[in-house]
Structure 1
Amino acid sequence: MSELFDEVDEEVRREQLKKLWDQYSLYIIAAAVLIVAAVAGWRGYQYLEAQKAAEAGAAFEAAIELVEQNKNAEAEAAFDKLATTAPSGYRMLARLRAAGEVAARDPKAGAKMYDELASDRSIGTEQQDLARIRAAGLLLDTEGYPNMLQRLETAAKPDATFRHTARELLALSAWRANDNTAARQWLDLIANDGETPSAMRQRAEALQALLPPVAKS
């Protein structure tokens, strides 16, 4: 008797499943097709992005080879092209290298390109600070300390990646402007930062020795 009931239950379950399938089969099939299409689309997107990155990497290396061959005009053109067509990472690197190529023949024009990078929030804080520092280095001989401070104060903060270089440039700019108080301020920050590179620490000590002694009160 129990076997009969089991067969009846099994038949009932089959009938229920059949009704569910008849009612929802189109939706189930459509959902499955959408899932397969989405996975295929994502895989295709990943493949295309990887291919673009590989092509951009090869073009970037080729541009660097042009620099090494002293074909500066061709290298500059190659970096400019990458700066507009490459994926975001290579695009940012190409803009930095393009600015460097321009700076080699025209420091003011190169500094302007670095300034454009420094004001571009889409590239990230570290890259912005790097651009600020490179622009400041190009203009160190022509801009006064107040302008250098405006350029580099953000990059010289305690948590900034390139703070050491920013502080060194500010100390040097202040010293050239005969602002001994400001120069000491930046040199003290360099000396008291445990992560300051040793070579930079030595340069800071040498510059500190050039400052007049602090007047006693």
Structure 2
Amino acid sequence: MAYDLEEQEKLDALKAWWDRYGTVSMALLLAVVASFAGWRGWQWYQGHQAGQAMGYFEALESAAGQQGDDAVARVKAASATLREDYASSGYAARGVLVAAWALEQRGDLAGAREQLQWLAASGPASALAPVARLRLAGVLLQDKKYDEALAQIQGEAPVGFAALYADRRGDILAAQGKPAEAVEAWRAAIQAFGADPATQIVQLKIDALNGA
């Protein structure tokens, strides 16, 4: 096919542009396509992981509401899988709290302690770590490991936990036979609770201890 001079000049300019920039353009295009495919793949993987984690969490919840050694074994197995394979999912922390509660209810304090220690050790990585520390202090209190229990809730309490931590410290100190220190901790809890009805319960503890 014959081209006039103007068309030929356009073709020559296009060929020159392609010779200069064509390889780079194709590389950029492929990079964009690969990035998009990778992003889509990551999205699918994240969704798949979340779905798997939810399945184990639901199985754990179901087992926690049942009785028998088999139910306990399933609680521990589901929690172990969540911690080992899905630790970054929100289901892992929630599953640990459910598992700890189920084991504590069955008198398995060692099992409950192991669950809560894992979550408490996660620190700022989990918003539920302060809850785990509070619960762990309670389990250690039941197990008469008073110094270990206090260690979980010493120092400045996380935001929103000042009253609960002070109340638990009072419980531990009272169990240790330190009434004056226990009352001091409970009074701090009452101050932190403010108008919360929980202050009445804490005051009952003070009254009972002072009347003993």
TM superposition score normalised by structure 2: 0.77
Deviates more, 1:63-72 or 1:35-44: 63-72
SS in 2 for 1:69: coil
SS in 1 for 2:81: helix
Question: Which of the residues 25, 29, 33 maps onto 1:32?
Answer: 29
Match of 1:210 in 2: 208
1:139 matched to 2:136? The reply is no
**Most deviating of 181-190 and 114-123:** 114-123
- Give the superposition deviation at 1:16: 5.2
Query: Amino acid of the residue matched to residue 39 of structure 1?
Result: F
Deviation at 1:114, TM superposition (A): 1.8
| Structure 2: gaps of 5 or more residues | 1-5
Q: Is the 8 A contact 1:60 1:82 kept in 2?
A: yes
The answer to whether the aligner puts 1:86 opposite 2:86 as a matched pair is yes
The one-letter code matched in structure 2 to 1:183 is A
**C-alpha contact (below 8 Å) 1:133/1:152 kept by paired residues:** yes
Question: Does the Cα contact within 8 Å between 2:140 and 2:148 map onto a contact in 1?
Answer: no
Q: Would the alpha carbon gap of residues 130 and 181 (structure 1) be closer, same or farther in structure 2, given more than 3 Å must change?
A: same
Match of 2:17 among 8, 15, 20: 20
Q: 1:11 to 1:193 in 2, by over 3 A?
A: farther
Matches within 5 A, 1:22-171: 22-70=19-67, 71-86=71-86, 88-89=88-89, 90-103=91-104, 104-121=106-123, 123-124=125-126, 126-143=127-144, 146-154=147-155, 157=157, 159-171=158-170
CA separation of 1:176 and 1:74: change in aligned 2, threshold 3 A: closer
Root mean square deviation, CA, Å: 3.1
| Cα 1:161–1:17 shift into 2, 3 Å | farther
Q: What does residue 5 of structure 1 align with?
A: none
* Cα distance, 1:146–1:122 mapped onto 2, change above 3 Å: closer
C-alpha change, 1:188 and 1:16, in structure 2 (3 Å) is farther
Can you list the C-alpha shifts for 1:8-53, whole angstroms capped at 9, x where unaligned?
Answer: 9x99888656533321111111111111110111011101211221
Count, aligned residues: 202
Q: Percentage identity across aligned positions?
A: 23
Cα separation, partners in 2 of 1:180 and 1:66, compared to 1, 3 Å: closer
In the alignment, which residue of structure 2 is the partner of 1:177? 176
Which residue of 1 is the match for residue 199 of structure 2? Answer: 201
TM-score after normalising by structure 1:
0.76
**Post-superposition offset of 1:203:** 0.8
Aligned partners of 2:109 and 2:143 also within 8 Å: no
Distance in structure 1 (CA, Å) of the matches to 2:207 and 2:76: 42
